[in-house]
């Protein structure tokens, strides 16, 4: 009974992609997302409002226009914590034009922004100026609610001391005192200062044990960074914030401490999931079809855990037919789930994580490892397919921005350059007059110009989701390496095939932009937990090494564009050429000749010296002869061995364009000169040793906490869902180790 194959569309030209509706963001997440988006807009607009005195003195502005500009200035200053500007606006000549309680276009008063983002001195200044401490935003949240939810304790106390109400309810019916985490620093702080916040601060939670002020500040900063990353990832990847864990409370470490050792070489009665075949369809619907990506440590592996525990029951206590029905039905539903959500990276990450973990469980179980070889192969294929889908999704998003962000983005403008053979419509260049001082925000097309950060933001979002769902580091490293290869290949092809970029000034700009990607790789360096041949230390290509390897061809092409025109200035041209060739080994002579032949020369810039061109032409001819001899030798050897001829050059295709482009040098860019962006690097699953160490306690058994995370358990809420007959057919996961050792 074979499983149904996956039916994915991996084309980058899928016309139905943009037709998919963007998931709706939940109300609570939307509020915070809007606040941070508004603050980001304020920071961009901050320099555009001008000086308050200039605005007041500008005779071209009406009083209504002055009021609008100055009011916006107050909102910007309050949002960004600019206390000096707040005081100037509230106390200077701008005061008559200001309403301290006026809402901006987003429906928020200045005190709302200051309280949300923790600007205590700004809040104090606004209160002294008569700000309404109970002013609500359009979601009915007060300044006190924002201060409480973001744990700005001093601001919360200041608001309460100045009459802020703790009984006002938001649109969802919650008060400010309903928002702080139990026994958190802010709830304890307010109670110590005489404010009773009810029962929310008395139950035990994650923050109980010695949460010092330093740790509190560190935790706050980490949470803020995490929130920002969640929102950026939600917008970049077009996924629901609820799939990224926004505002969810951490689990208690005690949940893992109750678990006992799992026995892998036999099946104890309380270490399996008992089910009836008649219930299987509904169980798989709950665990697979209706399952949304889970994020807490106990919930993320639920599908893998239930399928594995069910397989244990079917194998050890039922019959092979029930095991086959379970595994084939599960695989069909997983394939359908992934196929229906192939552009949702959170779903893809969730299932590649569970598939990898389930494969680990099956290989570790003494009986199932031999009973499920076909299913293990299907799991490997599923992991490989999801791996490709994640890469294609990320490539699709970057493809829309890559040219504008890396190739067209100019850090340093070179407007005065003139190129040979390129005539301008008017010989006399107009002298640009400086733009007048404007008090309005710049137009959207100026504020949203693509830059390298657009690409690094997409990379960060992808990495954030992979980390969020505990993708094995070996797989994560290969996803990043494949994306680096795609970026490098696309950039290489675009530079070589577009004459606009074949200029030394343009090459300099592009090289600076690529350095931003290299900086990202260094800041987010990952080393895969791969242990080669019993080694005690990890091996494998790190993120930095992958970026260096796959960006090298385009970087060397840019280096050639920047330097070859100066070869004629050297006394020994041939020595300079040979020295240059040793520095750019990933390029073949055909690439160098093509770039030099289609180069955009600046006026007065020298071309490639004749002797250098002759030397490159000879090198190309020699390379063709060697390649032809190698093919003939290989074909003869293949004929003797009775095998199909295969070019030995193809083995190194992913290393760069050098081998792929040694056969042609045409006037137009031949495919042989270009890299193949769709080429997939060799994909390797984590080995059995890698899985055992990564999902276990590691060498020496030191990481017991990590091992507890990957003991097959089922949270009580899922046990309740799966107990279809109310008869307690589900395993009692937290009682493991308490029964006898008999089967």
pLDDT tens digits, residue range 70-126? Answer: 888 898 888 888 899 899 888 888 888 889 999 888 788 999 988 888 889 999 999
Using 50, 70 and 90 to split pLDDT, how confident is the model at 449?
confident
Residues 171 and 97 in one domain: yes
What pLDDT score does 631 carry? 82
| Structural domain contains residue 66 | yes
Using 50, 70 and 90 to split pLDDT, how confident is the model at 724?
low
DSSP at 285: I
| Structural domain contains residue 245 | no
Among candidates 287, 345, 331, which has minimal Cα distance to 20? 345
What's the average model confidence in pLDDT over 687-697?
Answer: 80
DSSP code per residue over 371-411: H-HHHHHHHHHHHHHHHHHHHHHHHHHHHTTHIIIIIS--S
pTM across the whole model: 0.65
Distances in Å between the alpha carbon of 591 and those of 497, 587, 619, 630? 11, 6, 12, 21
Whole-number Å distance between alpha carbons of 242 and 292 = 10
Report the Cα 268 to chain-centroid distance in Å.
41
The gap between the terminal CA atoms of the chain, to the nearest Å, is: 30
CB atoms < 10 A from the CB of 740, how many?
8
| Structural domain contains residue 455 | yes
What pLDDT score does 632 carry? 81
More confident position, 615 or 4: 615
What's the average model confidence in pLDDT over 673-701?
Answer: 83
Look at residue 131 and give its three-state secondary structure.
coil
Instruction: Supply 22's token pair.
Output: 């963007």
Whether 722 has a pLDDT exceeding 80, the answer reads no
More confident position, 222 or 395: 395
Look at residue 539 and give its three-state secondary structure.
strand
Whether 714 has a pLDDT exceeding 60, the answer reads yes
Residues 383 and 290 in one domain: yes
* Predicted confidence (pLDDT) per residue in 616-668, tens digit: 999 888 888 887 888 888 787 777 665 444 333 333 334 455 443 333 333 34
CATH number at residue 109: 1.25.40.20
> Half-sphere exposure of residue 506, counting CA atoms within 13 Å on the CB side?
23
Whether 231 has a pLDDT exceeding 70, the answer reads no
Count of structural domains, the chain: 3
Instruction: Supply 639's token pair.
Output: 């004929």
Residues 311 and 170 in one domain: no
What pLDDT score does 393 carry? 93
- Span of 150-159, 301-310, 725-734 with lowest mean pLDDT: 725-734
Whole-number Å distance between alpha carbons of 275 and 603 = 80
Using 50, 70 and 90 to split pLDDT, how confident is the model at 219?
low
Residues 614 and 516 in one domain: yes
Among 30-39, 97-106, 421-430, the range of highest mean pLDDT: 97-106
| CB environment 152-166: b (16+ within 10 A), e (fewer) | bbebbbbbbeeebeb
DSSP at 738: S
Residues 597 and 698 in one domain: no
Note whether 253 and 353 are within 8 A (CB).
no
Using 50, 70 and 90 to split pLDDT, how confident is the model at 382?
very high
Look at residue 205 and give its three-state secondary structure.
coil
What's the average model confidence in pLDDT over 486-503?
Answer: 93
Whether 433 has a pLDDT exceeding 60, the answer reads no
Whether 718 has a pLDDT exceeding 50, the answer reads yes
Note whether 157 and 193 are within 8 A (CB).
yes
Among candidates 683, 717, 234, 223, which has minimal Cα distance to 480? 683
Residues 283 and 407 in one domain: no
Residues 176 and 69 in one domain: yes
Instruction: Supply 598's token pair.
Output: 């289609």
- Span of 304-313, 335-344, 345-354, 670-679 with lowest mean pLDDT: 670-679
More confident position, 359 or 641: 359
| Structural domain contains residue 614 | yes
Residues 704 and 668 in one domain: no
More confident position, 43 or 17: 43
Residues 371 and 406 in one domain: no
Note whether 468 and 531 are within 8 A (CB).
no
| Structural domain contains residue 648 | yes
Whole-number Å distance between alpha carbons of 312 and 304 = 12
Whole-number Å distance between alpha carbons of 722 and 699 = 36
Distances in Å between the alpha carbon of 389 and those of 331, 337, 379, 557? 17, 13, 15, 30
Contacts of 619 (CB under 8 A, 6+ apart): 589
| Structural domain contains residue 523 | yes
Note whether 707 and 694 are within 8 A (CB).
no
Whole-number Å distance between alpha carbons of 485 and 655 = 9
Domain that holds residue 608: 400-416+449-673
DSSP code per residue over 554-581: HHHHHHHHHHGGGGGGSSSHHHHHHHHH
Whether 427 has a pLDDT exceeding 60, the answer reads no
Classify the phi-psi angles of 370: left when phi > 0, otherwise alpha if psi is within -120 to 50, otherwise beta. alpha
Look at residue 367 and give its three-state secondary structure.
coil
Q: Name 136's bridge partners.
A: 142
| Structural domain contains residue 527 | yes
Instruction: Supply 52's token pair.
Output: 């308050």
What pLDDT score does 623 carry? 84
Which of 187, 206, 223 is where one domain is finished? 223
Residues 121 and 178 in one domain: yes
Whether 50 has a pLDDT exceeding 60, the answer reads no
Using 50, 70 and 90 to split pLDDT, how confident is the model at 181?
low
Which of 161, 191, 223 is where one domain is finished? 223
What pLDDT score does 104 carry? 85
Whole-number Å distance between alpha carbons of 300 and 308 = 14
Residues 49 and 186 in one domain: yes
| Structural domain contains residue 232 | no
What pLDDT score does 210 carry? 41
Above pLDDT 90, what percent of the chain? 32
Mean pLDDT of the chain: 77
Helix H or strand E encompassing 77? helix 63-80
Note whether 258 and 311 are within 8 A (CB).
no
Instruction: Supply 714's token pair.
Output: 């089922």
Residues 576 and 721 in one domain: no
What is the number of H-type helices and E-type strands within the chain? 30, 0
Whole-number Å distance between alpha carbons of 385 and 474 = 16
What's the average model confidence in pLDDT over 717-722?
Answer: 74
What's the average model confidence in pLDDT over 433-458?
Answer: 63
What pLDDT score does 689 carry? 84
What pLDDT score does 663 carry? 33
What pLDDT score does 211 carry? 41
Residue 423 burial class via C-beta count within 10 angstroms: exposed 0-12, middle 13-18, buried 19 and up: exposed
């Amino acid at each position: 009974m074979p499983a149904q194959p996956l039916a994915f569309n991996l084309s980058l030209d899928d016309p139905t992609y943009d037709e998919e509706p963007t998931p709706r963001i939940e109300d609570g997440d939307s509020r915070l997302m809007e606040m941070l988006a508004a603050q980001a807009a304020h920071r961009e607009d901050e320099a555009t409002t001008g000086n308050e005195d200039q605005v007041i003195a500008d005779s071209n502005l009406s009083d209504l226009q002055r009021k609008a500009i100055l009011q916006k200035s107050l909102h910007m200053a309050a949002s960004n914590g600019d206390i000096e500007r707040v005081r100037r606006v509230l106390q200077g000549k701008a005061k008559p034009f200001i309403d301290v309680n006026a809402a901006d276009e987003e429906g928020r008063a200045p005190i709302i922004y200051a309280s949300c983002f923790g600007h205590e001195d700004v809040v104090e200044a606004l209160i002294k100026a008569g700000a309404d401490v109970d002013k609500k935003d359009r979601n009915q949240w007060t300044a006190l609610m924002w201060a409480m939810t973001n744990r700005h304790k001093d601001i919360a106390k200041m608001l309460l001391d100045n009459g802020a109400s703790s009984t006002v309810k938001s649109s969802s019916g919650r008060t400010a005192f309903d928002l702080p985490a139990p026994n958190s620093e802010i709830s304890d702080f307010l109670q110590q200062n005489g404010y009773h916040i009810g029962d929310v601060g008395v139950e035990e939670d994650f923050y109980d044990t010695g949460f010092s002020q330093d740790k509190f500040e560190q935790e706050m900063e980490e949470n803020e960074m995490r929130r920002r990353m969640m929102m950026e990832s939600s917008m970049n990847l077009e996924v629901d914030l609820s799939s990224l864990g926004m505002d969810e409370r951490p689990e208690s470490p005690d949940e893992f401490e109750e678990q006992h050792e799992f026995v892998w070489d036999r099946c104890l009665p309380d270490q399996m999931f008992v089910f009836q075949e008649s219930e299987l369809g509904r169980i798989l619907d709950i665990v697979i079809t209706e399952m949304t990506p889970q994020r807490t440590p106990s919930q993320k592996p639920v599908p893998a855990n239930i399928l594995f525990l069910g397989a244990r029951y079917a194998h050890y206590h039922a019959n092979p037919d029930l095991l086959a029905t379970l595994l084939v039905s599960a695989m069909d539903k997983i394939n359908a789930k992934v196929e229906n959500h192939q552009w949702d990276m959170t779903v893809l990450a969730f299932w590649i994580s569970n598939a990898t973990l389930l494969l680990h469980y099956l290989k570790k179980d003494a009986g199932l490892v031999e009973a499920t070889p076909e299913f293990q192969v299907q799991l490997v294929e599923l992991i490989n397919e999801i791996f490709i889908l994640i890469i294609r999704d990320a490539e699709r998003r970057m493809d829309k921005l890559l040219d504008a962000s890396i190739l067209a983005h100019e850090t340093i403008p070179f407007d005065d350059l003139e190129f040979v053979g390129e005539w301008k419509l008017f010989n006399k260049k107009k002298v640009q007059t400086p733009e007048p001082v404007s008090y309005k925000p710049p137009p959207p097309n100026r504020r949203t110009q693509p830059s390298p950060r657009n690409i690094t933001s997409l990379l960060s979002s992808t990495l954030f989701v992979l980390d969020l769902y505990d993708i094995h580091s070996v797989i994560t490293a290969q996803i990043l390496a494949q994306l680096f290869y795609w970026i490098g290949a696309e950039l290489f092809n675009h530079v070589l095939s577009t004459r606009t970029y074949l200029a030394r000034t343009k090459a300099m700009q592009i090289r600076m932009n690529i350095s931003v990607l290299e900086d990202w790789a260094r800041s987010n360096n990952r080393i895969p937990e791969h242990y080669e041949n019993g080694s005690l230390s990890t091996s494998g290509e790190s993120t930095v090494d992958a970026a260096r390897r796959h960006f090298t061809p385009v970087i060397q092409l840019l280096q050639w564009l920047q330097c070859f025109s100066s070869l004629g200035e050297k006394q020994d041209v041939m020595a300079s050429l040979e020295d240059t060739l040793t520095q750019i080994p990933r390029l073949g002579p055909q690439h160098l000749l093509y770039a030099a032949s289609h180069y955009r020369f600046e006026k007065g810039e020298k071309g490639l010296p004749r002797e250098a061109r002759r030397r490159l032409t000879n090198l190309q001819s020699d390379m063709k002869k060697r390649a032809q001899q190698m093919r003939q030798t290989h074909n003869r050897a293949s004929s003797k061995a009775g095998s199909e001829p295969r070019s030995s050059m193809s083995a190194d295709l992913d290393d760069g364009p050098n081998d792929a482009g040694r056969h042609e040098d045409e006037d137009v860019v031949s495919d042989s000169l270009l890299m193949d962006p769709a080429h997939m690097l060799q994909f390797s699953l984590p080995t059995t040793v890698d899985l055992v160490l990564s999902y276990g306690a590691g060498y020496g058994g030191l990481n017991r906490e990590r091992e507890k995370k990957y003991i097959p358990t089922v949270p009580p809420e899922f046990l309740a869902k799966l107990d279809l007959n109310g008869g307690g057919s589900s395993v009692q996961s937290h009682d493991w180790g308490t029964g006898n050792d008999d089967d």
